[in-house]
Structure 1
């Protein structure tokens, strides 16, 4: 089912995401942020982030994209629905303004930002059309918006390996995850582009990016997935210790397909979707 299913409880999903990211904030920053950081250069280039600009980083998490934008000389604000993530971002990057905010109710005037970016945020929005409308509202005319999001699990193999492990073991979703939201909806470039065009952006483009992330051992892969994928990994996290151990064994077996001379060489694939506010 897609994220705009009328029976879907968007507020409950946001509450789950908030609680989950509060819980995993520290391991996310340590073990999963290196994966999301792979997209920072292309993302900020696409949004044309440069010195003197006012930039908004939505779903900022531990503030990695916000920090990269500030390093380019931009005046950056980062927002996130998770107070735990905001606390972590403020501690790590005290010179940047971070505040707790829901993407569908941004606390900013119209047209105040010269760029809006979201690094691997899109699939976490239970109401993506409303989220894009808010981003458009705070974006200045002529300015760019750019979002990154993961490709399909067959090519984005951290996600793929964990999903295949869950399927092999027949693990049900976490009972607290509201059903009806498709986190892979925008892993389809056509759907990604349609969302951006539907928001009123012009010059819409969705570009494909592929790379490889080296991981020394199964512990690194396990920590990345369990510490970063709040929805997917929750199906494992809710299990007892014996089942979690079995999941780790299955993951290790499946990861052998990506064994290289330096450990595991995990294929990473993502899209960057962008456009300008007319």
Structure 2
């Protein structure tokens, strides 16, 4: 099994962080949470979603929480607004009181949590009555084209790589999986929608370089290869990717977003009880 690393903020930014920021802003606008709200960004990573909340939602405060100290350090460096704070914590056992936040959100993290049902139950627990609980994840099966092209090329050369393909590993990254997760958590008015953005790479090196940074499943796979196999994968991708006349590579990054409303009664969900 290829080891997955989530610690180097700059490498993550070059890989998908720069694209996640665009999706984060569209996600926050879709939620339509009124200004002056208290937000929790669970699994905040390098702070892309926190920054989007600050930019477009006029929050009273935003708390970002993550298990990676490397990502938290990057978030603190990038997000200096006094309304934002960052601390360590696990989405499966949020170190926070019940009913604390008007909006509890997560960006591109839920599928990497060992027990996502527990994480959503915890999000519902710390949401205020009537508060919003929402998340978005990449559409690994098709819409996140930079990663889809990568695994298609990798699997053609090495069928065993299919075991690492996020589309196979994370069935919750589909509308039905997200809807079921939110419904089991006892959230009301569950809605799922697609969110996407253009991801135009300046050239092949701009596309390929971030896969050498080791952050996440696909880059982790690249670093595990011999030089010969890495070269074969690189050239297969070079031939496979679409290219504009100027050498740029026009792709799209698609995500699935889900939201629901916390009950006015207790936030303790069926999923939360069954996990104990």
TM-score range, shorter chain: 0.7 to 0.9
Partners of 1:261 and 1:43 lie apart in 2 by 32
Is 1:244 aligned to residue 230 of structure 2?
yes
CA-to-aligned-CA distance 1:28-56 (integer Å, 9 cap, x gap): 12342121122122311233344311101
1:88 aligned to 74, 77, 89, which one?
A: 74
Tell me the distance in 2 between the aligned counterparts of 1:188 and 1:181. Answer: 9
- Alignment-derived partner of residue 277 in structure 1: 262
Aligned 1:29-68 pairs, distance under 5 A: 29-68=13-52
SS in 2 for 1:260: coil
Unaligned runs of 5+ in 1: 1-11
Shift of residue 182, structure 1, vs aligned partner = 5.3
Q: TM-score, normalised by structure 1?
A: 0.84
Residue 143 (structure 2) aligns with: 155
Over 3 Å counting, the alpha-carbon distance change for 1:41 and 1:91 in structure 2 is: closer
CA 1:224 to 1:273, structure 2 compared with 1: closer, same or farther past 3 Å?
farther
Structure 1 counterpart of 2:190, from 200, 204, 217: 204
Residue 118 of structure 1: SS of its match in structure 2?
strand
Deviation digits for residues 222-270 of structure 1 (CA, Å, limit 9, x no counterpart): 2344548602332222112232222211111111xx2224511112221
Per-residue deviation, residues 71-120 of structure 1 (Å, max 9, x unmatched)? 33211000111110011111222332111111101111001011011111
Matches within 5 A, 1:124-203: 124-170=112-158, 172=160, 183-203=169-189
Separation of aligned partners in 1, 2:220 and 2:251: 21
Q: Do the aligned partners of residues 107 and 232 (structure 1) sit closer, same or farther apart at CA in structure 2, a change above 3 Å counting?
A: same
Q: CA deviation at 1:207?
A: 0.6
Cα distance in 2 for partners of 1:229, 1:146 equals 25
Aligned length: 258
Q: 1:259 aligns with which of 229, 240, 243?
A: 243
